[in-house]
Amino acid sequence: MFGRARERALLLELVGRRGSGGALIIEGEAGIGKSALLADAVRAAEAGGARRLTSTGLQGPTRSGYGGLHELLHPLLPHVDALPNRQRVALLTAFGMVDGPSPDRLLVSLAALGLLEEAAARHPLVLAIEDLQWLDRSTVAVISFIALHVSSVPITVLCTVRPGVDADTLPALGLDRLHLAGLSDDDARELVSVLGCDLSDLARRRILQESAGNPLALREFIAAVRQRGPAGSILQTRLPITKRLERTFLDRLGPLPSGSRSLLILIAAANGADFHDVMSAARTLDLTLEDLRPLEENDLVSVDGSDLRFRHPLIRSAAENAASTTEWVDAHLALASVMSGHDSAVWHRAAATIERDETVAGELEAVGRRASERGALPEAAFALERAAMVSRGASQRSRRLVLAAESARSAGLTSEAVELLNRADWAEADSDTRTQAVLSRVILALTAGAPVPRAVEIAAVLASLPGEEHGPRRIKILWVLAVLMRSQHVTVSSWQDLRDKLDREDERNPLRTVALALLAPLGQAAETRGVLPDLVPRLADDPLALVSLAIASESLQDLDTALTCWGLAQEGFHESGAPADEMQAIRGRAHLLMLRGRVREGLADAEYAERMTAEMHQPLLQSMAAATAARGHSLLGDFAAATTALMRSAELAQDSQMALIVADARWAAGTVALAQHRYRDALIEYTHMTVHPTRSLWAIADRTEAAVRAGRPDDLRKNVEEAAVAAALYRSPFLSALVARSRALLADDDAAESYFAEALALGALSESPIEVARTQLLFGEWLRRQKRRKDACAQLTAALDQFETVGAQAFIERATQELRAAGQVGARPTAPSTAVQQLTPQELQVAQLAAAGLSNREIADRVYLSHRTVSTHLYKVFPKLGISSRGQLRHALGRATSD
């Protein structure tokens, strides 16, 4: 190998690590030596005792979803029973080996990682992935996941890729990269002296000049000069290196016998198909093994058992470019004829289709549905889009485009989903297609920040669904629009038209009731609020509907029902294998837990949701979770962590102005500013929360405190009285307690005490001990200013006890300072750290599940980890809790919590 000493050293260090792993992308243009360098590193790894697993990308769309992953993991499948049950079923379903529910990509990724970890426990592994850019997208996503999780296990992931590939298509490009440039002049000159020793100095100089240090170009240009001479060779052209190499290979096809040329075109169309299938197709074209001999002799293809490969992918490109349309169509039809019953046969028929063909379109749609059933959603979207392209009628074309968009949306391909929806002709679509198109658009707006559907589009769809038989479809559209309006910053006046439409629909439909609850004006709040708990059992089997009911319950201040709905939705999504939706439910639950004073539990939920949405490449959902985590950190007084989480949230949200993200982020930022005595900054932050009416109500006491301390109490008097009206109509002790505290802060000394007392009495009914403690803190401060030190100390001590239970450090410090100012003598002993404070959120999560009696595999299924990662977490938990066995966990966690 010439001129790659530095690159070889880097790769040899990576594959030579003991007990740890890593991942590297080897990037470079065609012919630059990526495969040679990869092969060299793999040989070194095998010499050191590693086991090699390989997968190779091939040009063309015929490879099924997870096909590349199956090639990679096939040798390990005899050990698949070692995986947790849900992960095992997900992986085997993705490979089409068992029937099961459509698996989420995260479960497939975890299963693949777990299978590799099992194998790596026996001996190190090296994963050699060639031409990553041509692997199916489902496989690429899993390999990306694996590559990010092998640093602590003896697994090395090496991938080759060409430059200029879209990072959205290949998320693995976020990994470390080794860019291969051309050989240096000296190294290229040495290689030419070895390979072209018989050439003239002029020819060598020209080859060196034109090859730009590309090793394959050097080799092939030397061969071209030998064959045709410098004057007639490809060196006379002015094309990019890759194109000139293709032309070089194309020149080599000319002297081939006609049968061999036809067979080469057939092999190019076959795109990695089994050798026996290719030769069966060859016989239908009157081609034989004799036609293969010149291809092997000219080093264009190689046969190894059933594996038939081009020596280099550029030869395939040259063969495809050399084929006429008729030759290309005939090749694909021949291949389709010998692959009946397989998806690849459909793809070959599609490749041979040059006119619209409803039969082929139907077959492609079936391929897309099968891909979706196996969880290969990017491939499902591609197949359905191709089906739409060859559909005869506008209605069928639109239906398949909308189906493709929904698959793309579910795969996290937001821009592709929007583009597919834009191509659908709504006027020609049937009622189901129109309904699905609106639902997809609204969900994209809610979860990915995509453009909101225009009112005129929605009105047209609703108008096209007349009569009682279309009632459920209309209600479903109106329901998701209500969720969108409640979640986004939409003026209340815009809601009336939607309410009017809902009023005309079937009142027995629970989704109608939820939608009306989401849009309920204050005057109807009490009446609407009363029916929410009764809807829970009616919607128990529909986690999406439960999410909307949770949001409606929050807006009407029924926090008990909201918390119940978030929990049931999380369980429903988990059981159905929908982790992205599950993380949304967990994030929603996190915020309510924080409101209830269970701040560390809520923070653990928020950080878990953020970690998992990052794994799933869901930036907007991750941004929401980060904003919620920032709120938790701010309550606990970890302002550095809160600020970092806010920065992550802002970066992930980019230009999105989703009201929920803005409100949660501003609330956290305001709490930090308030604690740091930056009262005007806090007031500004809290003012921005008005984009989300529910969050703005919950922050009314914070906003009031900031305004009073900033010397601007009059700014909040109107807002507090508006909140008081809402609290009375909602009959909410929680909100009423916040209003009473706000009034106490705004009142003169004669009225303040009664408002504080009212806030404490209502707070006792609201199940939010941290808000009670904050009221006690403010009341204690007021009592100290009134020179009532004994009463002040009683309130401040009670507040401090609760803050220490929660672990809210900033409030602990503030209460302690107030106690000193009130004259409490003697230092109060520092409260001991609890288990909740010693363990990371994920360690606590694993420990709690283990204490509940779940096995490592059951925990892995529950929290989306490999079971070996669960073991690692428990290994760290035991010394932190001072225990040595699993049986001691329940007592240790209970003891630490009670302490």
Model pLDDT for residues 809-825, shown as the tens digit of each residue: 889 989 999 999 988 76
Flag whether 572 is in a domain.
Answer: no
Strand ranges for 35-143 from DSSP E: 51-56, 125-130
pLDDT score recorded for residue 732: 92
Dihedral (C-alpha) 478, 480, 482, 485: value to the nearest 10 degrees?
Answer: -130
Same domain, 273 and 197: no
pLDDT at residue 861 greater than cutoff 60: yes
The type of residue at 893 is L
Q: At which of 287, 317, 351 does a domain end?
A: 351
Q: At which of 351, 380, 401 does a domain end?
A: 351
What span, in angstroms and rounded, lies between the C-alpha atoms of 478 and 501? 8
Same domain, 346 and 271: yes
Can you read off the two tokens belonging to residue 815? 């209460």
Give the pTM: 0.83
What span, in angstroms and rounded, lies between the C-alpha atoms of 708 and 876? 47
The strand pairing partners of 177, in sequence order, are 25
**Residue found under tokens 């302690």:** 816
CATH of residue 855's domain is 1.10.10.10
pLDDT score recorded for residue 501: 79
pLDDT score recorded for residue 828: 58
Same domain, 301 and 167: no
Cα distances (Å, whole numbers) of residue 477 to 410, 433, 463, 473: 19, 12, 12, 6
Domain of residue 276, residue span? 258-351
Over residues 197-211, the mean pLDDT reads 82
Flag whether 465 is in a domain.
Answer: no
- Three-state secondary-structure class, residue 27: strand
Comparing CA positions, the residue from 486, 465, 642 lying closest to residue 550 is: 486
Give me the percent of the chain exceeding a pLDDT of 70: 93
pLDDT score recorded for residue 899: 44
pLDDT score recorded for residue 100: 87
Flag whether 716 is in a domain.
Answer: yes
Over residues 653-679, the mean pLDDT reads 88
pLDDT score recorded for residue 170: 57
Phi-psi region of 58 (alpha: psi -120 to 50; beta: other; left: phi over 0): beta
Tens digit of each residue's pLDDT (9 = 90 or more) over 406-465: 999 888 888 899 999 999 987 788 888 988 988 898 888 877 777 777 766 777 787 777
pLDDT at residue 487 greater than cutoff 80: no
pLDDT at residue 836 greater than cutoff 50: yes
**Residue 807 DSSP label:** T
Q: At which of 321, 351, 381 does a domain end?
A: 351
pLDDT at residue 548 greater than cutoff 70: yes
Same domain, 67 and 209: no
Tens digit of each residue's pLDDT (9 = 90 or more) over 221-268: 888 777 766 544 545 555 466 777 777 787 778 788 999 999 999 999
pLDDT score recorded for residue 841: 79
pLDDT at residue 625 greater than cutoff 50: yes
Over residues 829-856, the mean pLDDT reads 78
Number of neighbours of residue 375 by Cβ within 10 angstroms:
27
pLDDT score recorded for residue 575: 87
Sign of the four-CA dihedral 190, 193, 195, 201:
positive
Flag whether 217 is in a domain.
Answer: yes
Burial class (CB in 10 A: 0-12, 13-18, 19+), 440: buried
pLDDT score recorded for residue 832: 54
Same domain, 810 and 891: no
Contact at 8 Å (CB) between 645 and 633?
yes
Give me the percent of the chain exceeding a pLDDT of 90: 55
Flag whether 543 is in a domain.
Answer: no
Flag whether 427 is in a domain.
Answer: no
Can you read off the two tokens belonging to residue 414? 């937001």
Cα distances (Å, whole numbers) of residue 203 to 99, 184, 225, 501: 62, 19, 8, 81
**Chain-centre distance for alpha carbon 419:** 20
Residue 898's pLDDT band (cuts 50, 70, 90): very low
What span, in angstroms and rounded, lies between the C-alpha atoms of 603 and 89? 31
Same domain, 863 and 758: no
Angle at CA of residue 37, ends 124 and 75, nearest 5°: 35
Same domain, 111 and 155: yes
**Residue 256 DSSP label:** S
- Three-state secondary-structure class, residue 162: coil
CATH of residue 760's domain is 1.25.40.10
- Three-state secondary-structure class, residue 261: helix
Can you read off the two tokens belonging to residue 727? 């609290």
Contact at 8 Å (CB) between 578 and 593?
no
Flag whether 852 is in a domain.
Answer: yes
pLDDT at residue 834 greater than cutoff 90: no
State the alpha helices, DSSP H only, in 654-699. Answer: 659-675, 679-687, 693-698
Same domain, 196 and 281: no
Same domain, 173 and 321: no
Flag whether 495 is in a domain.
Answer: no
Dihedral (C-alpha) 412, 417, 418, 419: value to the nearest 10 degrees?
Answer: 130
pLDDT score recorded for residue 231: 45
Same domain, 165 and 218: no
The mean pLDDT value of the chain amounts to 88
CATH of residue 101's domain is 3.40.50.300
Same domain, 679 and 795: yes
Same domain, 175 and 274: no
Q: How many domains does one find in the chain?
A: 5
- Three-state secondary-structure class, residue 781: helix
Tens digit of each residue's pLDDT (9 = 90 or more) over 341-393: 789 999 999 999 999 999 999 999 999 999 999 999 999 999 999 999 999 99
Tens digit of each residue's pLDDT (9 = 90 or more) over 157-168: 999 998 876 555
